[in-house]
Chain A
Amino acid sequence: MNSLVQTNAYSLLKACRIMPLASRTKAHWASVEMGPPDPILGVTEAFKRDKNPKKMNLGVGAYRDDTGKPFVLPSVRKAEEQLMAQKLDKEYAGIVGLSEFTKAAVELALGSANPILSEGRNASAQSISGTGALRIGAAFFAKFYPSKTVWFPKPTWGNHNPVFGHAGMSVKQYRYYDPATCGFDAAGCLDDVSKIPEGDVILLHACAHNPTGVDPRQEQWRELCDVIKRRKLYPFFDMAYQGFASGCVDTDAWAVRHFLSEGLPAALCQSFAKNMGLYGERVGAFSIFCDSQEERDRVLSQMKILIRPMYSNPPVHGARIAAAVLTQPELRQAWLSDVKGMADRIIGMRTQLTELLAKEGSKKNWQHIIDQIGMFCFTGLKPEQVERLIKEFSIYLTKDGRISVAGISSNNVAYLAHAIHQVTK
């Protein structure tokens, strides 16, 4: 090592020995409080500690197969094996990531025939899964969009508020879920949305609303679209479950496609965590659908300015897998079938649970379990009933009565039906 550095390192050592410990260790952190505990993590920890062999974890936000295990999609495994054989390099991907991936992702969302794609009007960036997409979007809107207010459905995913808040947007809510019916509050929603100040941003769950599982029907979406159009609101879609909700990728993208076909502008966050089971690989995309290619170029250049100081460029492993799956016909077919398999299992569990509740003798209306869609179900259970499920039956769920249907399997659905009946009869 060159002498200049050696000399200086030595002089630091000398100086350090002279200085007393007290003045060297001024407290930087006195005011740092412990961060808030994670409510969902709390459920999982309690579940882990429970020794009851019949225990069930219905707080899990990841798909489980019928034996309760994490599921790596066969099509994904196949794609991964193929990629290994290709011996690709590890060079930086570029700020907006793998173009092969983002192109395929947007095509999946919009349908390959959508003119936006052929006209080059989508400003799209690979993102760190859905959260990363939301974060880029929130930062972009906070910086460039005239209104700094975004409206969320009530309730919404717990992380929406922190992400948008951290980016500098202020957050308001519109009515969405009706606890009386455990369904969509169409009247309340339309009423609230019709009063949102012109030009504000409105966040919409494209399908499989999280946490309620309640989605508007197509005619309700049409009505909502009309109001949003009249109020000149900016639709900001969060699509985390395309394919995973109904089992069909086109059905699940219907709302997004409808809004675009109505000539509305839109932003879209896509996650491949659930529908490809790529949770930990952080695969997602963020898009703004622009008026022209020229605008797209400007918008994309500014997105890069926001992404670079966050993490420079995205991880490629998962995106390469997703790109292979989406663009190779055989893999894509296999994937569509894997996704349908997951969706069907979830739908099957919903049906079974409802039937078993009736068999248990429950007189309550459990239709919403079947009407709701996707990973989650808002059971309508009250906090004290949830408490009993946990304490008496070792069935773990969040206080709001939300269950993850993915945590139900054919060997415990009867136990769950029995327990729910016991606490609600």
Chain B
Amino acid sequence: MTSVFSNVQTAPSIEVFALTEQFKKDSNPNKVNLTVGAYRTEECKPWVLPVVKTVEAQLAADDTLDKEYLPVTGLPDFCASAVAVCFGEGHPMVLSQRADGIQSLGGTGALRLGYDFLRCILGRDTIYVSKPTWGNHKGIAQQCGYPNVREYRYWLASGRCLDEQGMLEDLTAAPEGSVIVLHGVAHNPTGCDPTPSTVIKQRNLFPLIDLAYQGFASGDLDRDGRVPRLFADHNMEFFVAQSFSKNFGLYNERVGNLAIVTQSAEITGRVKSQVRNIIRKTWSNPPSHGARVVATVLRNPALAAEWRENIKRMAERIVLMRQMLFQKLRALGTPGNWQHITDQIGMFSYTGLSAAQAEYLRTNYAIYIMSDGRINMSGLTSKTVDRVAQAMHEAVTKCSA
């Protein structure tokens, strides 16, 4: 009897995980993994934020806490705090309840809810993502059944910078009402900070801001939150998919928030109720542990201050790695303009290396980077940056792009 699943093909592997698997099996003692997007310390170790450790211990010792279901839209304290982080405490949009939050399974979950709502409830059929963008942005659109998944120009390979002109042209040509996925700060994968475009308003495009690195990019929450705040200050209607994976180091607890901003509290209420419906059919209600940690920190001024210090520490180390890498490359006289390494911000850098050059790095140096040239800056340490610079120098000079 033939199996009913005999026609199920092996799915293409997801590059970042495949590379990490390969890295794990690599026996080279000097191997370096610059692929996966998780923060690493100067000792190249994962880092559980001290403030998170403090709060987790507190929560574990608290006998009054139970394990009951959270409301479908999440822990109210968490949602309110998340929205306050995004827009700033006391923002009129928040006070008037035109902005509200819905807890989600990480940033991905928030994007999924946003995409699902815009497709199923608003009937939007066209969505634009930056070229390039995080792979899952397109993946989610395909799962949600968007008939038209398009790209707007973003990265100018020749100049290794933002393609402002291209972006403007593509968005101007976008059909009215299209959904536009913007990176709020620290664009993944290029590191180039995006420019909110006036075209969005002119074409009545619907912005969905992916805010995965607030605070993590510059070390300053307010600075990194300026895109949603700018949009809010100008009475735009939009969604923000917030992730607390990086800025709280809570990757595996899946802490996210979908912030919705509309013209009125009443409309926001209706939108929230529809998203609630979508949640019921997807995961019913969100996990409580991570949200409790974040809410506890954000609602306690001393803990919140400690958190801001922890973030600064991470952001500063990354900035330092950028500077070191740039200096090494310049000292080596590596051909090309490497200014973008320090111009870009956040965890990632689009080095501009080609797939062939990436392969060269892997094969000859056991240095793992993505085939699109993306590297995780926090994967570098002061002990490895020399070798990485040397390897990049060789790749560029010996291996044509």
**Chain A interfacial positions (CB closer than 8 Å to B):** 1-2, 4-5, 8-9, 11-13, 15-16, 19, 21, 23-29, 31-36, 62, 70-72, 76, 80-81, 84, 87, 89-95, 128-132, 135, 144-146, 159, 162-163, 165-166, 199, 234, 265, 273, 277-282, 288, 290-291, 295, 297-299, 301-302, 304-306, 308-318
With A92-B36, A295-B5 known, 20 other A-B pairs at CB within 8 A are A4-B162, A12-B198, A32-B267, A70-B66, A70-B68, A80-B60, A89-B46, A90-B250, A131-B282, A281-B289, A288-B5, A298-B9, A301-B10, A301-B13, A306-B143, A309-B112, A309-B139, A311-B104, A312-B254, A313-B106
Interface digits, B261-298 against A, CB 8 Å rule (1 contact, 0 not)? 01100010111011011101111111111100000000
Contacts of A11 in B (CB 8 A): 198
The answer to the question of B164 belonging to the interface, with a C-beta cut-off of 8 Å to chain A, is yes
Q: In whole angstroms, what is the CA distance A12 to B36 when docked?
A: 34
Q: A25-B263, A32-B121, A131-B284 are in contact. Are A298 and B5 (CB under 8 A)?
A: yes
Chain B positions 147-179 with a Cβ under 8 Å from a chain A Cβ: 161-162, 164, 177
Contacts of B161 in A (CB 8 A): 4
Q: Which of B78-86, B228-236, B306-314, B363-371 interfaces with chain A?
A: B228-236
Q: A9-B226, A16-B198, A90-B253 are in contact. Are A35 and B276 (CB under 8 A)?
A: yes
- A145 and B263 contacting across the interface, CB-CB below 8 Å: no
Chain B positions 31-60 with a Cβ under 8 Å from a chain A Cβ: 36, 38, 46, 48, 52-53, 56-57, 60
A328: min CB distance to chain B, Å: 18
Q: In whole angstroms, what is the CA distance A157 to B11 when docked?
A: 33
A140: min CB distance to chain B, Å: 9
Q: In whole angstroms, what is the CA distance A313 to B218 when docked?
A: 27
Interface digits, B1-31 against A, CB 8 Å rule (1 contact, 0 not)? 0011111111101100100000000000000
The answer to the question of B105 belonging to the interface, with a C-beta cut-off of 8 Å to chain A, is yes
Q: In whole angstroms, what is the CA distance A15 to B231 when docked?
A: 12
Q: A305-B11, A311-B112 are in contact. Are A163 and B281 (CB under 8 A)?
A: yes
Out of B4, B60, B143, B281, which one reaches A146, CB within 8 Å? B4
Total interface residues on B, CB under 8 Å, equals: 90
Q: In whole angstroms, what is the CA distance A282 to B75 when docked?
A: 14
- B283 and A302 contacting across the interface, CB-CB below 8 Å: no
- B218 and A299 contacting across the interface, CB-CB below 8 Å: no
- B251 and A90 contacting across the interface, CB-CB below 8 Å: yes
Contacts of B195 in A (CB 8 A): 4-5, 8-9, 12
- B289 and A62 contacting across the interface, CB-CB below 8 Å: no
- A32 and B109 contacting across the interface, CB-CB below 8 Å: no
- A24 and B11 contacting across the interface, CB-CB below 8 Å: no
18 contacts between A and B (CB under 8 A): A4-B161, A8-B196, A12-B197, A32-B267, A34-B273, A70-B67, A91-B38, A128-B287, A130-B284, A145-B5, A166-B278, A199-B4, A282-B285, A302-B11, A309-B142, A309-B143, A309-B144, A312-B108
- A315 and B252 contacting across the interface, CB-CB below 8 Å: yes
Out of B46, B139, B206, which one reaches A28, CB within 8 Å? B206
Interface digits, B246-258 against A, CB 8 Å rule (1 contact, 0 not)? 0001111110000
Q: In whole angstroms, what is the CA distance A95 to B6 when docked?
A: 23
Contacts of A33 in B (CB 8 A): 270, 274
- A8 and B280 contacting across the interface, CB-CB below 8 Å: no
**Chain B interfacial positions (CB closer than 8 Å to A):** 3-11, 13-14, 17, 36, 38, 46, 48, 52-53, 56-57, 60, 66-70, 104-106, 108-109, 112, 121-122, 136, 139-140, 142-144, 161-162, 164, 177, 193, 195-198, 201-202, 204, 206, 218, 223, 226, 230, 234-237, 249-254, 262-263, 267, 269-271, 273-274, 276-278, 280-290, 343
Out of B223, B278, B287, which one reaches A280, CB within 8 Å? B287
| Cross-chain pair count, CB within 8 angstroms | 258
Q: In whole angstroms, what is the CA distance A326 to B22 when docked?
A: 31
Q: In whole angstroms, what is the CA distance A146 to B8 when docked?
A: 11
Contacts of B46 in A (CB 8 A): 89-91
Contacts of B143 in A (CB 8 A): 306, 309-310
Out of A9, A295, A310, which one reaches B282, CB within 8 Å? A310
- B4 and A145 contacting across the interface, CB-CB below 8 Å: yes
Closest residue of A by beta carbon distance from B206: A28
Q: In whole angstroms, what is the CA distance A1 to B109 when docked?
A: 30
Q: In whole angstroms, what is the CA distance A316 to B195 when docked?
A: 36
Q: In whole angstroms, what is the CA distance A135 to B109 when docked?
A: 14
Out of A159, A277, A290, which one reaches B67, CB within 8 Å? A277
Contacts of B196 in A (CB 8 A): 8-9, 12
Contacts of B109 in A (CB 8 A): 310-312
- B236 and A304 contacting across the interface, CB-CB below 8 Å: no
Q: In whole angstroms, what is the CA distance A8 to B112 when docked?
A: 29
Contacts of A89 in B (CB 8 A): 46, 48
- B121 and A278 contacting across the interface, CB-CB below 8 Å: no
- A94 and B8 contacting across the interface, CB-CB below 8 Å: no
Q: In whole angstroms, what is the CA distance A126 to B3 when docked?
A: 24
Contacts of B250 in A (CB 8 A): 90
B88: min CB distance to chain A, Å: 16
- A311 and B122 contacting across the interface, CB-CB below 8 Å: no
Q: In whole angstroms, what is the CA distance A219 to B60 when docked?
A: 46
- A313 and B122 contacting across the interface, CB-CB below 8 Å: no
A244: min CB distance to chain B, Å: 15
Out of A26, A32, A280, A290, which one reaches B271, CB within 8 Å? A32
Contacts of A309 in B (CB 8 A): 108, 112, 136, 139-140, 142-144
Contacts of A128 in B (CB 8 A): 105, 283-284, 287
Q: In whole angstroms, what is the CA distance A12 to B5 when docked?
A: 53
Contacts of B105 in A (CB 8 A): 128, 310-312, 314-315
Q: In whole angstroms, what is the CA distance A95 to B218 when docked?
A: 29
- B262 and A166 contacting across the interface, CB-CB below 8 Å: no
B351: min CB distance to chain A, Å: 18
Q: A298-B9, A299-B8 are in contact. Are A8 and B3 (CB under 8 A)?
A: no
- B5 and A144 contacting across the interface, CB-CB below 8 Å: yes
- A311 and B283 contacting across the interface, CB-CB below 8 Å: yes
Contacts of B290 in A (CB 8 A): 315, 317
Closest residue of A by beta carbon distance from B283: A128
Q: In whole angstroms, what is the CA distance A295 to B223 when docked?
A: 50
Candidate in A12, A24, A132 with the most chain B CB atoms within 10 angstroms: A12
Out of B38, B282, B285, which one reaches A166, CB within 8 Å? B282
B234: min CB distance to chain A, Å: 4
Q: In whole angstroms, what is the CA distance A144 to B5 when docked?
A: 7
Out of B48, B68, B142, B270, which one reaches A34, CB within 8 Å? B270
Closest residue of A by beta carbon distance from B286: A282
- B4 and A265 contacting across the interface, CB-CB below 8 Å: yes
B177: min CB distance to chain A, Å: 8
B121: min CB distance to chain A, Å: 6
- B14 and A308 contacting across the interface, CB-CB below 8 Å: yes
Contacts of A1 in B (CB 8 A): 193, 218, 223
- B8 and A298 contacting across the interface, CB-CB below 8 Å: yes
- B112 and A28 contacting across the interface, CB-CB below 8 Å: no
- B284 and A159 contacting across the interface, CB-CB below 8 Å: yes
- B122 and A28 contacting across the interface, CB-CB below 8 Å: yes
Candidate in B7, B250, B253, B267 with the most chain A CB atoms within 10 angstroms: B253
Contacts of B284 in A (CB 8 A): 128-132, 159, 282
Closest residue of A by beta carbon distance from B7: A144
- A290 and B5 contacting across the interface, CB-CB below 8 Å: yes
A309: min CB distance to chain B, Å: 4
In order of increasing CB-CB distance, the 3 nearest A-B pairs are A35-B273, A311-B105, A8-B195
B43: min CB distance to chain A, Å: 13
- A282 and B283 contacting across the interface, CB-CB below 8 Å: yes
